[in-house]
């Protein structure tokens, strides 16, 4: 019986020593304290390359930022060609659309190696199938007019996105008017 008590005391002693050792060990936090996690925004300057530029005011756009953005965007996103817009449930070209297409035709003809994709878009009203067909009619209407203006047909292609790529995601007449359009994307 004395041996059992000695064994129990030894085990308990070992256990307490282990506990004492683990309590003295420094525990490093895995997360940063709240004051380190939320650092204040640096003063109104930031370093870009070798020069310091003062932070811009809200809404201000610097000319160098525009140039940099244009260099980073794919060619098709920086298009000098203007969109044309349509009336509700219509694919006929208005006088304003014809004027814009005349300017677009001039730019395309002056760049004979350019390939232009005409994208037909619709607002969200109507079924997907109907809007795809309407977008196709709108794109083809613009293409026919450009060919009539002596743009080489091999430079033009069409695609319909229907209501799938709205310019304005709103659900009102103002948004719908922006979405009823043909967009001209320069492919090369």
Predicted local distance difference test score (pLDDT) of residue 3: 73
Predicted local distance difference test score (pLDDT) of residue 117: 96
The CATH number that domain 85-186 falls under is 3.30.1330.60
3-state helix, strand, coil in the chain (%, to 5): 45, 15, 40
Predicted local distance difference test score (pLDDT) of residue 16: 63
Query: What element of type H or E holds 104?
Result: helix 95-109
Q: Which residues pair with 84 in a beta bridge?
A: 182
Report the predicted TM-score, pTM, of the whole model to 2 decimal places: 0.58
Q: Along the chain (188 residues), what's the average pLDDT of each consecutive run of 10 residues? A: 71 64 52 43 38 37 37 52 95 96 94 94 93 96 96 95 92 93 91
Q: What angle do CA 82, 88, 93 make, to 5 degrees?
A: 45
Instruction: Tell me how far apart the alpha carbons of residues 174 and 89 are, in angstroms, rounded to a whole number.
Output: 15
């Amino acid at each position: 019986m004395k041996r059992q008590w000695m064994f129990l005391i030894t085990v308990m002693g070992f256990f307490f020593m282990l506990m004492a050792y683990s309590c003295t060990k420094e525990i490093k936090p895995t997360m940063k304290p709240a004051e380190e996690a939320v650092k204040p925004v640096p003063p109104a300057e930031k370093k870009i390359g070798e020069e310091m530029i003062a932070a811009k005011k809200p809404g201000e756009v610097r000319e160098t930022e525009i140039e940099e953005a244009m260099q980073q965007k794919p060619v098709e996103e920086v298009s000098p060609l203007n969109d044309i817009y349509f009336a509700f449930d219509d694919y006929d070209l208005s006088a304003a659309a014809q004027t814009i297409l005349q300017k677009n035709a001039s730019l395309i003809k002056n760049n004979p190696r350019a390939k232009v994709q005409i994208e037909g878009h619709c607002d969200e009203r109507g079924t997907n199938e109907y809007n795809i067909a309407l977008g196709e009619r709108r794109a083809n209407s613009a293409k026919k007019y450009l060919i009539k203006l002596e743009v080489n047909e091999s430079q033009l292609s069409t695609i319909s996105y229907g209501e799938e790529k709205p310019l304005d995601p709103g659900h009102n007449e103002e948004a719908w008017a922006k979405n009823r359009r043909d967009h001209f994307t320069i492919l090369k």
